[in-house]
Structure 1
Amino acid sequence: MKKSNLLIFLLLPLFCLAQSTMKLKGKVSNEVMPLEWADVSIFNSEGKIIDGTTTKPDGTFEMNLKKGTYKIGISLLGFSEFEKEIVIEKETDLGTIILKETTANLNEVVIKTKKNTVEQKIDRVVYNVENNISAASGDALTAINAAPGVVVQSSTINILGKGDSRVMIDGRMIELSGEELNNFLKSIAANDIKSVEVIANPPAKYEANGTGGIINIIMKKGMRDSWKNAITLSYDQNKYGIYTLRNSFFYNKNKFRFAFSGNGRIGNTNNTEDLDIYYPNGLWELRDVSKQKENSISGRFSLDYDVSERTTIGFQYLNESYNPDMNSNTVIRIFNNSNSVDSLLVNKGFNNKYSGSQTYNAHLISRLDSTGKKVSVDLDYFSYGSKFDKNFAAKSYLPDGTYQNTNQAARNNSNQDIDNFSLKTDFEFPMKAFDLSYGGKISFIKSNSNVFYYNTISGTPELDPNQSNVFEYQENNQALYIDGNKKWNDKFSVKLGLRLENTQTNGYSQTLHQEVKNDYLKLFPSVYLDYQFNDNHGLNFSYGKRINRPGFGMLNPFRTYINSNSYSEGNPFLKPSFSNNFDLTYSFKKNLSTSIYFNRTTNGYGVVFTSNPEINTQIVTRENYFDENSFGIGESYNAEVTSWFETQTSIYLLGAKTSFISGINAVPSNSEQVYFTTENTFSLSETTKLQLEYFYSSPFKKGLYEIGYMSGLNLAIRQNFLKNDLKLTFLINDIFNTSYLKGYKSIVNGVTQVYSQNESNRFLRLSAVYNFGNKKIKVQERDFGNKEEKKRTGK
């Protein structure tokens, strides 16, 4: 599809909206004076809000409506509500509408509301972060890990049973994955996050990439006509210490909204890795202890301005830099077949690492008419850069510690630069019969990476061209989508979507003079059915087709060394995998839910830990090597049991059936997995809360890997001071030090490998959050129960 045709398609509706509308106006007053900020809502014949506004300082209001019959509702705190049916056939003036007072006038009132921790919608689960004491004092990665059904493990973010998930911020995709994505999320304060949306089967509006669905982070916005500032200081103690300072400022006045946040972090963590490799001629027992820096700095800036009552323009900027420099000390004990130590191989090295990113967004949101039609345009630019420079030397010793020789000495460095430009347009067209939305997106991604290997065993660096490479990768994507949402009655809702994506990729290795191209056009349907039998019983079904494209680092064919006897290399011939995902959820009283899912993945790719027994070397590769059926059932209970006790508890039974589709020399193996998690909050007083969290994952087998058990117990207590403006939180994370990855086992080429990694999961945290500013809601500025519906008409 040509890009010119795509732009015509996106802009065509702007020329098709000339509709006849009539002006409706009036004035709201009490018996003495006009009333400002009275809420005026217009309902259609089905009782759905289709337009809304607030009265001006002189009590007047006006809006444009098409011909028809409506109901107008006017409300203001402290006054009786006004309702009336109106017929619009010409310009209509309702005159002065008198509201009667129900209570004495108040200068100001503070309204305290508490959202449910977990909210189920037709196409996603919404997790409100502020209700979690321990997560709210951490970062975005902590907040995601606390969301129901989400697990962060070994640099991957997974929705249980789905696979790797993509991450968005305010609906905008972050073009990172793995360790780079995790580092980026650590730069965002959880205190700046309003909620986390878990979208297992994303609608057609969102990109189809990611078999594990999408995690959408919704950032906080400032309250209307107010300003506030929040400052957070925290200290983490593992083996070492980490200091974090964060500050967030929000300003929202009249037509102008501004937000700024900064985040600085300094300190170290202690990381340990254990790897046992059972070669035919004897065991290699690897133990690595490293001290890693956790120094980072980041900032976020956003600005929005209401050009008119219907049009808003805005700009956002995010910046982060991270320096995880690391000293590593790896000791390999080499055993013979008699199980006696033959020799020791000691690898000592220093990893100089840096990563940084910048995100720019410009957007326009405009209401096209009074019926709720809306257009939004987003222009995004994302750049990411990383540097890796490792100097290491491997020395061989006898079992008694006598030095033998220097086995290897080298410098291995790599750089990667990613640039992503995208343009996205979305249209929303609520109609009498159903709600329609459609739009499109074009994106251009370019990634340049290089790897250089220098032999330093002679003391003078010598470039090895056979282990060095420059790799260039480009990916262009054009997409169109259409979504339809129909609420047949109070019980039954249907949402259907279809997304078309056209993708071109080109990977080129300068050293190998090798070019790999792909060009494919794919359709991605989505279906959502929701039926509420009554107030107590509901049923929800969803289906979606997804694609999983390989990350840029996976495609670079050259190697980077982990240590002298272990290296990682990419695969430029990796193809995307596809999945068909089915979910069925039954809910009882919106507190208890039972979910059943089935996913079919074809041409799946992943990391393969293999070995070369002839030279006793571990090789980490990437391959399209499996097809897989995943299935499971989950039970979740989320409720405020008493006024002082709230719980969020889930248990899942998961399983899979895997078949290998490549020439990999291994046998697939599968078993059931039990995953249990519970988060319990106790209100000890009006100002004191205690939170107890626990999770358990049973040992299980899936495809190529066997994974040992994991569990974690966290305890947090929060005390509020100064009318809740100051909050002190004390957290003990992973009390028994059992939440790390262990027993990660694979058997390839007849060689068994067993791996474990502990990244300072157990730590103590003391944090203080102080909020100040003009954050009280005046009478005329209060929120209503239909706030969310009104947002849909005002955007």
Structure 2
Amino acid sequence: RYDAAGTSGIINIKTKKSKSMGLNGNLTAVTGYGQTSKYSGGGNVNFRKGKINAFGNYNYANNGRLNNLNLNREVTYQDTVTNFIQSNSWDNRRFNNSFKAGVDYFINKNNTIGLLSNGYFNSNDENSTSFTNRNNNFSQIEDIKIIGNNEEKYQNAAFNLNYKGVLDTTGKEISVDLDYSKYSSNHDELRDNAYTATNLQPRSRLLVKNFAPSKINVKSVKIDYAHPLNKTSKFEVGLKSSIVKTDNDLLLARLKENTWMPDAEYSNHFIYDENVYAAYANYSKEFKKFGIQMGIRAEQTSSKGNSITKNQIVDRNYLELFPSLSFSYTMNKDNQLGLSYSRRIDRPAYDDLNPFLSFLDEYTFEKGNPYLNPQFTSSFDLSHTYKGSITTTIGYSHTIDVMTTVTEQEDKTLKTFAIQRNLDEQNIYSMNVYAPVPVQKWWNINNNVQVFYMGFKSKSENGDLNSGQLALTYNMDHSITIDKTFTADMSAQYQSPLQYGIFKIGSQIVVNAGLKKTFLNSKLNIKLSMNDLFNSRRQRLSTTYQNMNLNFTQKAESQITSLTLSYRFGKNEVKAARRRSTGLEDETNRMKN
């Protein structure tokens, strides 16, 4: 029934119609500061009268963010060792506007028709500075300074028409969704490159402009049918069709003699078409102590990537099956067992398929990969739940064609490229324990510990990859009730060193805290939040894969204090709007916003 994309579990929440009429809603305002200011606010409203339920929300955010990246790499070519020491900083301000509006009309107690629209119009203004020192055996060759200005805009509007009908008193249901989404983005960038040479002929200043408009249109039709066979068993079938078309145009121009001249090496017009047709069938049965659910989903995918500028076409046509099987067994009132298997797919983001080539400087690039394949994951899980609270899960997952970022190096030109590639396989063996601990009536601790081994294998012309490491993550959440209207919380997350793809990732620990006070019979809430109390969140990566010798540290603004005010108004008894999915969730998640 659900898209085969992703590996997380599915929770199906069924809602009941309420005779309660009226209006309710919520207003929220947030202000925060770390190294830059942050503001956001929004509200939602829900109205029911007669056979009509209308609802909507709007949210706005104006958030600044600083980001720093230090990158060191070493290139060896013909017995000459060249070192690059790079320092990059970004001053970013992001503006987000998101909305959702809908109406449901209850034709009668068994038939409902609904209209839904949601979307966003976001923008991003970024100023950047990059310093690169190039040297041979630490004897300086040249310095490069780049000043950049980047403006990005993302807009998306999606529309859904839904019909849901209960066909008889046994609970037979049919649901139909028609969806359409129109997405567009613009990326305008100016980079000013200045060079200071020590042992080389000085180079002239270089000005570069980058224009990258993009459009994505998605159409989808989805039909679901549920047929209870009796009180303890159900059969479900469904169909889905989605049609995607993306149009990306990248133009890079260099300023020569006061004239902007297009650079054919970096410019590209790329069109991508993708059609996915899916059908599924599920069967579930509940016994006294035992439950079973089994399903199969078939997806036929046809796609074509066409680089018009480079006269390069990539065609794909494949049929894949995605079975799923799960068992549950209640041993006694305190112990439950679960066993599950599923096969799923993750498709590349649309931007990752676009064979663009953009650069941080003339030695450091990022590029897309039209040959990137989807990844397929088979997962097995065995779980035990004790007294409905302590859960232990042992799992294994095997992924082929793993999509991950790799860095590739051209020794002769000294250039490094970051690109999405498919590695042959990934294997994860894991054990997860979730254990809530009620220390006192007023103090609860939730603990989540995961121990896992993550390994990667891949073959290539330049050398094979066989990497892996045992790792640990631990999340701890404290919830403290000071009185009926005053609570405190604190959380800590620890991640040990781990290996992911070609990169070794350093450990980190992050601590957050908050205080919350309620007023006016809990209608008004005020919360003070402090994120990353010790300013310890940072990303540290290194690799020596193939001919690479690279390490970098990235520190984004993370130590932030914020104040949130929320006010709930209207009748509490008014039933919330229908919770339902559309046919575009998987496709929307592949768009950059």
Aligned position for 2:86: 286
Alignment partner of 2:554 out of 757, 765, 782: 757
1:250 aligns with 2:46: yes
Partner residue of 2:120? 320
Instruction: Give the aligned partner of residue 36 of structure 1.
Output: none
Matching residue of 1:145: none
| C-alpha displacement of 1:518 | 1.1
**How far did 1:329 drift?**
0.5
Cα-to-partner distance string for 1:350-403 (whole Å, 9 max, x where unaligned):
011111111111101110001111111011112211111111022122589x99
Partners of 2:253 and 2:337 in 1: how far apart? 61
Instruction: Report the Cα offset of residue 657 of structure 1.
Output: 2.7
User: Conserved in 1, the CA contact under 8 Å of 2:456 and 2:465?
Assistant: no
Give yes or no for contact 1:310–1:368 (8 Å, CA) kept in 2.
Answer: yes
Question: In the alignment, which residue of structure 2 is the partner of 1:200?
Answer: none
1:550 is paired with a residue whose SS is coil
Which amino acid in structure 1 is aligned with residue 116 of structure 2?
Answer: Q
Spell out, residue by residue over 1:404-461, the C-alpha distance to the aligned partner (whole angstroms, 9 max, x if none).
5346421122121111110101111112262111111011011111111111254321
CA shift in 2, pair 1:335/1:553, >3 Å: same
Instruction: Using the TM superposition, give the Cα deviation of residue 258 of structure 1 relative to its aligned residue in structure 2, in angstroms.
Output: 1.3
1:146-176 alpha-carbon deviations (Å, 9 max, x no partner)? xxxxxxxxxxxxxxxxxxxxxxxxxxxxxxx
Q: Distance in 2 between matches of 1:761 and 1:217?
A: 34
Residue of structure 1 equivalent to 2:3 = 207
Question: Is residue 436 of structure 2 the alignment partner of residue 638 of structure 1?
Answer: yes
Cα distance, 1:604 vs. partner? Answer: 2.2
CA shift for structure 1 position 668: 3.0
2:569 is the alignment partner of 1:772: yes
1:680-695 superposed matches below 5 A: 680-695=478-493
Residues in 1 aligned to 2:12 and 2:214: alpha-carbon distance in whole angstroms: 26
Give CA-to-partner distance per residue, 1:69-122, whole Å, 9 cap, x none: xxxxxxxxxxxxxxxxxxxxxxxxxxxxxxxxxxxxxxxxxxxxxxxxxxxxxx
Shift of 1:707: 0.3
Task: Report if the CA contact (8 A) 1:374-1:428 is conserved.
Answer: yes
Question: Is the contact between residue 605 and residue 626 of structure 1 (CA under 8 Å) also seen in structure 2?
Answer: no
Superposition pairs for residues 268-667 of structure 1, below 5 Å? 268-280=64-76, 281-337=81-137, 339-397=138-196, 404-406=202-204, 408-432=206-230, 434-489=233-288, 491-638=289-436, 640-665=438-463, 667=465
Distance in 1 separating the partners of 2:264 and 2:503: 34
Q: Any idea what SS the aligned residue of 2:265 has? A: helix
Runs of 4+ in 1 over 6 A off after TM superposition: 214-223
| Counterpart contact for 2:406–2:420, Cα < 8 Å | yes
**Which one-letter code corresponds to 1:567 in the other structure?**
F
Partners of 1:399 and 1:694 in 2: how far apart?
A: 49
1:323: Cα distance to partner? 0.9
Q: Give structure 1 stretches of 5+ with no counterpart.
A: 1-204, 783-787, 789-795
8 Å CA contact 1:393, 1:406 repeated in 2:
no
Q: Structure 2 CA distance, aligned partners of 1:766 and 1:714? A: 14
Rate the CA distance shift 1:538–1:406 in 2: closer, same or farther, 3 A.
farther
TM-superposed CA distance for 1:652, in Å, is 0.7
Equivalents in 2 of 1:605, 1:773: separation in Å? 48
- Matched with 2:591 is none
Structure 1 residues 408 and 314: CA distance shift in structure 2, 3 A: same
Q: Secondary structure at the match of 1:307?
A: strand
Is the 8 Å Cα contact of residues 400 and 423 (structure 2) preserved in structure 1? no
Q: Which is strand-richer, 1 or 2?
A: 2
- 1:231 deviation in Å? 0.9
Distance change (3 Å), C-alpha of 1:439 and 1:328: same
Q: Is the 8 A contact 1:668 1:704 kept in 2?
A: no
Give the greater-gyration-radius structure (CA). 1
RMSD of aligned residue pairs (Cα, Å): 2.5
Tell me which residue corresponds to 2:584: none
Q: Is the 8 A contact 1:668 1:702 kept in 2?
A: no
Report the Cα offset of residue 706 of structure 1. Answer: 0.5
Name the CA distance, whole Å, in 1 between partners of 2:126 and 2:217.
27
Contact 1:546-1:580 at 8 Å conserved across structures: yes
Please give the TM-score of this superposition, normalised by the length of structure 1. Answer: 0.69
Q: Aligned pair in 2 of structure 1 residues 607, 251: CA closer, same or farther (>3 Å)?
A: same
The alpha carbon displacement at 1:638 in A equals: 2.9
Deviation per residue, 1:51-73 (Å, 9 max, x gap):
xxxxxxxxxxxxxxxxxxxxxxx
Contact 1:631 1:656 in 2 (8 A): yes
1:755 Cα shift? 2.2
Matches of 1:776 and 1:565, distance apart in 2: 62
Q: SS in structure 2 opposite 1:557?
A: coil
Quick one: distance in 2 between partners of 1:499 and 1:583?
20
Give, in whole Å, the separation in 2 of the partners of 1:320 and 1:701: 36
Q: Which residue of 1 aligns with 2:37?
A: 241
Q: Distance in 1 between matches of 2:528 and 2:15?
A: 24
Residue 217 of structure 1 and its aligned partner are, at CA, apart by 11
Residues 486 and 517 in structure 2, CA contact (< 8 A), matched pair in contact too? yes
Give the aligned residue type for 1:659.
K
**Partner residue of 1:670?**
468
SS of the residue 2:544 aligns to? strand
Report the residue type matching 1:390 in the other structure.
E
C-alpha distance in structure 2 between counterparts of 1:227 and 1:563, whole Å: 56
CA distance in 2, matches of 1:450, 1:712: 40
- Residue 602 of structure 1 and its aligned partner are, at CA, apart by 1.6
| Displacement after TM superposition at 1:573 (Å) | 1.9
Tell me, which stretches of 5 or more residues in structure 2 are unaligned?
580-593
Counterpart residue number, 1:168: none
1:262 aligns to 2:262 (yes or no): no
Cα distance change of structure 1 residues 451 and 741 upon mapping to structure 2, 3 Å threshold: same
| Residue identity in the other structure for 2:50 | N
| 3-state SS, counterpart of residue 554 of structure 1 | helix
Q: CA, structure 1 residues 395+479, in 2 after alignment: closer, same or farther (shift >3 Å)?
A: same
How many residue pairs match? The answer is: 571
Q: What secondary structure sits across from 2:461 in the alignment?
A: coil
Q: Which has the higher contact order (CA 8 A, sep 6+)?
A: 2
Give the deviation of 1:254 after TM superposition.
3.4
Measured after TM superposition, the shift of residue 304 of structure 1 is 0.7
* TM-aligned CA deviation for residue 664 of structure 1: 4.5
**Cα distance in structure 2, aligned partners of 1:566 and 1:238:** 30
- Taking a change above 3 Å as real, the CA distance of residues 304 and 385 of structure 1, as seen in their structure-2 partners, is same
Q: Please give the alpha-carbon distance, in whole angstroms, between the structure 1 residues aligned to 2:450 and 2:294.
A: 28
Change (3 A) 1:721 1:573: same
Q: Does residue 746 of the first structure (1) align with residue 546 of the second (2)?
A: no
For the Cα contact (< 8 Å) 2:457–2:464, is it kept in 1? no
How far did residue 297 of structure 1 move? 1.2
- Structure-1 separation of matches of 2:566 and 2:280: 43
What is the deviation of 1:715?
Answer: 0.4
Distance 2:179 2:233 in 1: 31
**Secondary structure of the structure 1 residue equivalent to 2:460:** coil
Query: For residue 696 of structure 1, what is the aligned residue in structure 2?
Result: 494
Instruction: Specify whether residues 572 and 767 from structure 1 end up closer, same or farther in structure 2 by C-alpha distance, changes over 3 A only.
Output: same
Q: Cα offset for 1:684?
A: 0.6
